Structure 1
């Protein structure tokens, strides 16, 4: 074990610090980028709902609006369990109801 530490100590000075920091920065940036990419954006679901739910009348409009309200409520409930800022804004379901996002408790 002691020979291994001496061997590593001899070659530790040959590896530049910027080389190691480059790997670290890449790791950190990739982690944050993956978190951003995996955020649930409602755009694709909104386009899917608007293209699949037929009707230019009042019933079709209400159905599309209701479905998107459910999508927004689901996103809010997910973000409440993940984000501290959203959890501070909506600490309980009563706050969600008071904000008008949900109609019932």
Structure 2
């Protein structure tokens, strides 16, 4: 008699693996493990690429800020500006050469 029992795919595969031997089982497990590692490594690679891009964007922003600070330093350290601040705010003035006293040791 023919039985009407239906086998599931998992039972068919497991029976086949048991019948064929341990080498096929070992190779199957090896393929699954290597596939999992490929997925993990690909995911980590993508995360590192994203982090590299974020660091590159931060580097560009810091470079722009550094250039702006250099410009600001040049403007604030200009001799003419310092002289104007000294004359206006501190009421400093140039010494007349006639009123100048020179000390000699």
Q: Give TM-score scaled by structure 1 length.
A: 0.33
Higher RCO (Cα < 8 Å, 6 or more apart):
1
Q: Give TM-score scaled by structure 2 length.
A: 0.33
Larger Rg: 2
